[in-house]
């Protein structure tokens, strides 16, 4: 069995709307691979720190913090609460619908530059 993928809570939302846009080519290629694996396998484990997307992101500092850490901490806490995700818990990526994710994005990702992608009709 494949090991579950480590994901920050708000990335369980972001990935549902991923359409190939991101911070660098490496980030985008990695995100497609993560999404493919999640669609096939489904399982992810929640982490409060850098995850499998951050690992290929140019915004992750050497100190393990995101360039927008304050905002990211807020998104993660809010997404974890609204989706009922606990740090270290393993969940099925496909257990909540895209419709539910679309409902949550405007409540959580209020100042995210990519939110237009996740909320478009």
Residues in contact with ligand SF4 by CB under 6 A are 53-54, 57, 59-60, 66, 68, 72
For residue 119, report the phi and psi dihedrals to the nearest 5 degrees: -115, -5
Nearer to ligand SF4 by Cβ, of 6 and 54: the residue is 54
DSSP bridge partners of 43: 92
Nearest to 90 by CA among 39, 43, 50: 43
DSSP bridge partners of 46: 7
Distance of closest approach, residue 120 Cβ to ligand SF4, in angstroms: 20
Nearer to ligand SF4 by Cβ, of 53 and 108: the residue is 53
Distance of closest approach, residue 119 Cβ to ligand SF4, in angstroms: 18
Tell me the two tokens of residue 93: 């990526």
Nearer to ligand SF4 by Cβ, of 43 and 66: the residue is 66
Q: What is the DSSP letter of 3?
A: P
DSSP bridge partners of 45: 6, 90
Nearer to ligand SF4 by Cβ, of 55 and 95: the residue is 55
21 near 28, Cβ under 8 Å?
Answer: yes
Distance of closest approach, residue 1 Cβ to ligand SF4, in angstroms: 26
Distance of closest approach, residue 96 Cβ to ligand SF4, in angstroms: 20
């Amino acid at each position: 069995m494949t090991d579950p993928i480590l994901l920050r809570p708000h990335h369980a939302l972001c990935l549902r709307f991923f359409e190939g846009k991101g911070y660098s080519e490496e980030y985008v290629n990695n995100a497609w691979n993560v999404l493919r694996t999640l669609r096939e396998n489904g399982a992810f484990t929640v982490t409060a720190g850098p995850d499998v997307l951050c690992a290929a992101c140019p915004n992750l500092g050497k100190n393990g913090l995101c360039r927008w850490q304050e905002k990211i901490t807020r998104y993660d806490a809010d997404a974890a609460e609204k989706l009922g995700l606990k740090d270290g818990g393993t969940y099925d990526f496909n257990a909540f619908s895209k419709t539910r994710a679309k409902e949550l994005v405007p409540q959580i990702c209020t100042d995210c530059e990519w939110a237009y992608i996740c909320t478009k009709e």
